[in-house]
Structure formats: C-alpha cells, structure tokens
Structure 1
Amino acid sequence: MKSKSNLYSMLLFLFLISGNKLFAQNTADSTQVKDLYYQALNEKAQGNIDGAKTNLTKVLALDPKNDAALFEIARLELEQENFGDATKHAKRATELKPDNEWYWILLADVYKRKQDFRALTPIFEQLVKLKPEKKEYYYDQAYAYFLNNQLEKALEAYSGIEKKFGSDDNILVARQEIYLKQNQPKKAIEELSSLIKQQPDSSKGYILLANLYLKMNQPKEALKILDDGHKHIPGDPYISLSKADAYHSLKDDERSNKELKLAFASDRMDFEGKMRLLISLMSDPKNKEITPVVLDLADMLTITYPTDARAFALYGDILAQQKKLKEARDQYLKAIDLNSRVNTIWEQLLQIELTLGMQKEALSHAYKASALFPQQPLTQFFAGHAFLMEKKYTDARSCFEAALNFVDEKNTPLLTQVYSSLGDTYHALDMSNESDQAYHEALTLDSNNVGTLNNYAYYLSLRKANLDQAAKMSKKSNELEPNNPTFQDTYAWVLFQQGNYKEALTWIEKAIANSGESSSALLEHYGDILFKLGDIDKAVSKWKEAKATAQNTGENVELLSKKIDAKKYLEQQ
C-alpha cells in the first residue's frame, strides 16, 4: 500500500497537469474568440453582413457572456429588421454590462423600431441614472412618458428638466402638446402665449401659437396672432408662410399665394430654405391646386439665383412633374451649363429626351453623361438606351454592362430592366446565347415583366428557336397586358413560325385593330400570314401597303419589293 504522502503527491501532480491543460484550453478559446470577433468586425466593414453574423454566432457559442459580440450581432439584426433576435441580444448585453450607455441606447433603438413605446421608459430612466449630466436623456424619458399616455409623468419630467437645466422653448412646445392631448386647449394657448411674452421679437412663438389655432380649426384666430407677429417683426418670411397656411384653410387662395410669394421674395429666407419649401409644396398631393404658384416660385428662384444649377434643376423637376417635358428639358440644360457634375440632372435630361423621341439629342448627351459618370448605374442605363435607339450597339452594351456592375442588387426593378436591355443589345450584336441568358436573369427577377416576355419571345421566333417557350411567354405577356398591338403581333409571329397560320391570322388582325396607326411591320406580317393561308392576291395587297408605309418613314423596302415582284413569301437572309 502506498503511503499517504505519495498519494497526496500523485493527486497534486494530476491536479497540476489537468489545471495546466484547462488553462491552455481557456487561453486557446480566448484567442479564438478574439480572432473571430475581429474577423466579424472586418466582415462587417466590408459589407459582408452574413459573414459577420456567422463569426459573431461562433463567438457566442464559445463565450455566451461576450457582451461586445451580443451588442454587435444585435446591431446587425436591427439593420436587417430581425427585431426578435435584436431585442434578445441587446437586452442580454445590458444585463451583462448594465453600466454600458451604448448597450441601453441600442436597446432603445430596437424598441423604437418595434414601436414598443412601453419598453422605452425604463431604458431612459436607466440612462438618466447612468448619465445625469446628459440633458437629451431627460427629454427622451419625458417623451417616452408622452408616447405611453403617461401625461402627468411627462409634465413632471419636463418640470424636472426646467429645474435642472433651465427654461427651454422645447419644454413649452412639449407642454402644449400634452395639454392638447389632455383636452385642455386653454392651457396650451397660455403656454405658447407665455413664449410670445418672453420673446416678442422672435417669430417662433407667433408661428407655434398660430399653428395651434389651425390645429383647433380656428384660422381667423391664427391670422390675428400672425398679424400681431408682423407688427413686431415686419416682413418676416416664416410668419408669411404661416399666413399662407391660414388663408389656405379659409380657402382664400389669392391671399395665400400672395403670402407665399412675399416669403419667397424675402432675403431673410436663404436658398436652402426656399429649396425646402418648394420641395415640400411639390411633394404634397394636397397642393395640386397651387401648382401655378409653385411654378412661379420656382421661376423666381432661378431669377434670384441665376448662377446656381440647383435652382434650374429644381424648376426642371417641378415642370417634369407637371408633364411639361420640353420646358423641363430647357431648365435641365441650363443647370448642366452651370454645373455638369450632377448625375441626376443628366439622368432626367436623357429620360425626357428619350420620352420625347429626341434621339439625336439624347445620343449627344449620352456620350457626355456615360463618360462623366462611369459608376452611376441609372446614368449608364439611360445612356445605354440612347445608344440602343440609334443602333450604337457596342456603346449600348458598354453602358448596360457598366450599369449591371454598379447597380445595387436590392434594386430589383432597375436590375431587371438592365438585364432586359442587355438581352435586346446582345440580340442586336448576334450574341444569341448571351441574349438568352440576360433575358433569363431578368425573368428570374420578375417573371411578369411584360417587355422582357415579349422581346425574348419575338427574338426566339426570329431564330425559330424554342418556339414552345416563346409561345408561352408571348401568350403570358398578352394576358398581363391585353390589347397591346405590339404583344399581339409578337404572338401572331410566334404562331406563324409554329405553322399555326389560322390562329396567327386572328392575332395579327387583333394587333392591326388595336394599332392606332399603320405599321409596315404589322402589314408585312399580315401579308405573310395570308400568303401561307393561300390568299395570294390579298397578301400582295398587304405587302404593297406595307411598302408604302415603310417608304413614308424611310425604312428599307428591299425585301418587300422582292415579295411583291415574286408574289411569294420570302425570308430575310
């Protein structure tokens, strides 16, 4: 039997060995945790959110109490609107490190996004305790009480702010909101009236009190206050704006517009203020009736600031919104003359020129825009279409491929249109495989994109390739957008290539009936179908009509002439 001392020595030896192994394991884990955490931050910095989350999840598997990892993963989950997990992880971070201000702020942001206002009050109470010197947390706490309809507590909180930090206009404004919610309008009026007494030469009190009367549907009382304000502060543009609102409530548009113009003419309102006003006016659907005065104000802006491109660009935007496209184009051109480095102006200009059929002008501007903004997908997209319309297929391809390289993958509508346009361009360059792949990508993103369905089907029919697929796509485009003569013509031609001439005749006649004007392509297809059905004389008659129409528009009539002379259907070589 071994002695006790030997036994103790052996136990001590075993303990030291196992302890060293445990220490070595913890050290290894600690190093791995740090490595994974910094890898996650690096992935996040590079925009690889999934990779960052994967590494943070591994960190938490090794170290469930890693508050920094919990904080970071909660931030990522909040960005992805995964509010459940974001709440769980942010809350756990605050439990582990209750003295960390930023963890509480993140948790508050999560609850704000969830609109869980009840959960906000204890958070701001905690932040006030942690950082008693930060006034903003007291305001957040008071506002959280207000949102939760804890109105008396909100009033107490604002009184506390006043005692601790001194009087503040924001407190008066907040109080009047509370009094209104408590259905105590007299107290609300008293609160704002006291602001006017304290600061009779500041427009803020007059405007706030006038707005209160407007909320209470008392525009005449609002005007009394504003008139008094103008006595103390003659020509104040912001009081004029409030007067415009009051007159608008009284349906006195003449006086309302007059006050708007007075405000706009004042040099006390800076350029940015006037821009914001115009944008708010043009963005408000309720303001349709004041469209003429908005146009006048925009014109005034260009006169007052004749060297600022933004004034002309905004005037162009307003004109474009009113469908005055030629006038809008003139303003965009003036804006570009003053500053050619704003891509959005070029985009608007190109879009309008393409819409107006000004293809030569669009082509000229496409060269400049595509060179100036090689990494702007929308600029490249519109420039690509300008090239495509003028059969500059190589240039169009360069633009659309550039747009594809730089478009945000989340912008599905634009991405779909880029792929579809690449399909058209590759077809024109006889790159059939690439064309098919581009159309396939477009339809993968949006299977109901009628333009893509139609064009893909038509180009397959020209190649006599995958005609069953072409028929399905063309039929679907007609179901999605009935009575479109272009789509009906495509379906007729697919049916023609399938040898289904009777049904093709039905669809070409629908296309011609729905077409607003004669089209050489429709008439030629009509003649081709009639020929296949054995009606030679009528087929030749339609080819002659097609030829006459094509000659009027400057199209090539060589094949039509051959058909007419031979009295026979001939394919394009």
Structure 2
Amino acid sequence: MTSSAPFKRTLLATLILSLALSGCTTTASQAESSGSSAPQTETDSVPAQAIESETRIATTPLTGESFYTLLLAEIATNRGDYGSAAQLYSRLDRQFDDLEVAQRATALNQVVGNYDSMGEHAGHWLRLEPNSVEGWQALTIASLANADQVTAKRALDRWLMLDPDAEVEGALAGINSLTNDQQASLLPVFAEAETSHPDNTSIGFANAQLLSTLGRYQQALDVISANRARQDSPDKGLLEFRLHLELNDIEQARTIISELTGQYPNNSQVATAYAGFVYADSGANKADTLESLFNRFPNEPVIARAFARESFDNGDYDTAEVLFERLIPTEFSDEAHYFLGRISRINRLPEEAAQRFLSVQAPPYLISALAELSEVWQNSRPTDIQKALHQARQAYPGQSPVLWRIEADLYRRLGDTEQAMAVYGQALSAHPGDTSLLYDQALLAANLGQYDLLEANLSDVLEQEPDNTSALNALGYTWADRNVNLPQAQRYIDRALEQQPDDPAIQDSKGWVEYRLGNLEEAERWLRRSLESMESDEVAAHLAAVLWEQNKQDEALRWLDQAFNWNSNSPTARAIIETLGIDR
C-alpha cells in the first residue's frame, strides 16, 4: 500500500483528513502474491509497548482474502459510514502490520469517538513507524480522551521532542465525555509538559482550555493572559474573551473583542464572535456594526443571522427578508423560514406566511411556527392546523404538551370553549400532572366560572411546584376576587411577591386581597404601585373601589373613567360600579 497523508497539527484538520484519505493502491495481484499474514501479538496494540519500542517492525502485505475487507472498508468510508469503516479497518489492523491500515484505523476511530480503539491502533502505528510525529499526536489525543495520564504524559513528551513547535491544544477535543475528576487528572500532564518544553506556548493554551472546561474560569484567565503576553493568536484572544463573559465581566469582554477585531480584521472566527456579542449587547449602533461585518464576511452564516435578527428587531423588514433568504441553505434554515413567515404576516400576505411556517421542520422554531400558523389559519383552515399539530406531536413527542396548548388556545380564540376544554382533557390524559397544561386549563376554568376545577388544578400544580409564582398568584387572586379563603390567599400572594416583587400583576393581586381584608391604605399603596408600570383597566377599577370605600369619590370616579378609556367594555369596572352602587 502507498503511504497516506499524515495527521495534521490540529484536531479539526485531523478529522477532515481522516474523511478524505485516498483509496488504497494495493493491487489484487500484489495481495495475492504476498506471503502469509503475520497477526499482531496482544502486546503490539498496547500503547505503553509502542512508547518503549524504537525499532520499526516489518510490514506484512494484505492477503487476497483481506483485500475484499479492505474494499468494503473503502466503500463504507466513501458512503460516510465511518462506524462500519472503522470496524473493518480495525479488524485488518489487528491482523496485518501495514502502516496505512494502522493510520486509517486510528483516524476513523477518532472520527467515531472510539478512543480506546484509537489508542490501540495508534500504538500499532508507532510500532510500525516509531518516530512518526503524527502517530505520537494520535496517541496523545487518544490517551487524553481515555484519561490515561501516564501514557498521555509520555506520548505528549515524545510528540514535543519530535516537533518542538507542535500546536497541542487540539489534543483536548476528545475529553468532553470524561467526568470532571477525570478531566482534572489531566492537568499535571500539561504542567509537566510545560516544565519540560518551556518554549512551546501552545501547552499553556491547552492548559487554559482545560481549566475553562473544568469551570475554573479565573485560573484559566490568569493562564491565558500570561500566555498571550508571550505569544498571541486569534484563538487565544477568543478564549480570553469568552472567559470574561463567563465571569460576567462584560466591559472587559467588550474591550477584548473590539481589540481582536482591530488586530485580526480578516479573521472570520473573530468577526463571528464579535457579531454574536454585538447582537446580544445593549450598546448603540448595533445595526451599523453588524452591517459592516456582513459586508466584510458575507458568507459567514452567523454574521448574516445576527444582522438579519437586528434588522428585524429594528423594523427594517426589507433588509431582514433579503438576509433570511440567504440563510435558508444554512444550518439556520428553520429560523430563516420562521422569520420570513412573520415578515409575510406583517406585509399581510397570509398564505405566503403559512407556507413559510410550514417549511419549518423541527423544534425549537417549529413550535413558534405552528403557533403563528394557528393564528393565520384559525378562521379559514382550523382542521388543517389540527392535522399539523397532530403530526408534530407524533414526530416530536417531547414537545407534545406545548402543542396541545396551541390547539386548545386555537379553540379558545374561536370562542369554542367547550372544544378547548375537551382538548385540555385529551392532553392531560396523555400527560397527567403536566403543570403547564393544568395551569392553562385552570385559567380557562376561571373564565367559565368552574372554580372547583380551577382550585383543583392549581392545587395540583403547587403540590408539584410549591414556589410556582404564577399558580400562587392565580389561586390567591381568585380567592380574593371571590372573597373566600382570604388569609390563605394573602399568604399565597405574599409568597409570589417575594419571588417577583416588581411584577405589576402580583402587585394588583396584593392590593386586591388587602382590600378584601379591609386594609384600605395598604391596598391603595399596592394598586398605585402596580399602575406605575402597567396600564390596566382592571387595576384602575380596583383602585377606584378602594378609593370609593375611603370616601375619595371624585378620584375614584376619575379612575373608573380611566378604566373605560383603556377598555371601553371593562368587565371589572362594570362589576365595581354594580357592586358599590355607583351612579354612572
């Protein structure tokens, strides 16, 4: 067999290379004329044995029978069935001493994440080619992924002896499946390597990455800051930027990413990170910055996405539409179709919007798309919506509760409360105890005056989630409004307020329960506070009732007028007028 291209210096390039390895050139006649195979001994596959060996072992060509296995392995590789290809090459590597087979077995097992086998085949590779830089790199990757500290130390040291300038940070990509303790056990590997190879700055970079993975952000930041002072790179700068974000040091993160953008103006990774930060940031001129980045990197989907979302948020729908169209062939296809659907709704093109929403294939945007579609088709095609929701529940059973809620809400909007209640019944039969379904059904029950069902549902929610703010507030307010269970209502609302003290809806509940308890001044204080942040006919009517009971009739009447200004049919204001006998 001809020798193949070796492993590259970064893991990403290694993976790409393993997918693009050229076909074997061993001919059938060569295979058939070869001698008998020489199976590996058990110790040949042990990494420690490979480390100790300095002598190249003889190559044993493949036999004619095994050439068929090789052909199957190549077919599997070309089809992208890397799992099968890895198994076939592993079988061959255990039977023959062939350098390229060992290389391919190593690479393919790395691709499928089988690091035990990767280490075995890297060990064989090194017995065949003891001074292979790429072989020692592969053994380092595998032993780190297996938390084999002893082998990793020795393999990394040998790799760096053969290639003092090796970029070793990519060797960590296989450690994600390790436990925290296993990952932490690898720290001495890099500490020892840094002592033995002080001129190689990539070791410190790898150490900072490992510390970051362990959540030791401040330690990682100290390491990478010192490392950048010795030798900088875009990747190192981006790690420091992300560490500041993890530490919630937004100002320093902003400074670093801005500096990196100026320092590496043509680096797409830096530009992409900057675009994401700019979109999430609250600073001004976001659209201008994102447009500038997009003009420089028009083929970077993340940048186009950030610019598209910012344009949509700013109401620049023409620009957003063009950008989202560009994103359809990318990994952001569902998001693009969803927002294009929303733009079509804004432009009053309901059928175009519907087709966009139907083009969304999977959660999370599928759920939002179906919710939008239920509004577009609610009057014209409710049966089709029901069918689409049923299909989505079949395809994504984990999303079933929220899809049931969308269906129930459809019938509620159509005024068919009986059907909406029936849908909730079906949903709760399929998902008994689901708190979101119980809560939504309780709200519908309140509108229908089915207070026993409301109380039962919300009590079930609170039994499962004692600190559920929405349930505490809803049940407390319902009791207050009905003038029953007032001490318990007060306790529930107070618990909700402890969690969300600035929520104007809960402040309204607090004011109303205090009114029912006769604490009029306290009630007035909470209701005025609620109205400071929310224009609500209901709260205005509640305040009018409190003021009327305090003989502040003129102001009470003004608040009633305000309630009707906000909602000309305000049921709460009309109920207050009737209950208090106010002549309006």
Q: TM-score range by the shorter chain?
A: 0.3 to 0.5
RCO higher in structure (CA 8 A, sep ≥6): 2
Please give the TM-score of this superposition, normalised by the length of structure 2: 0.46
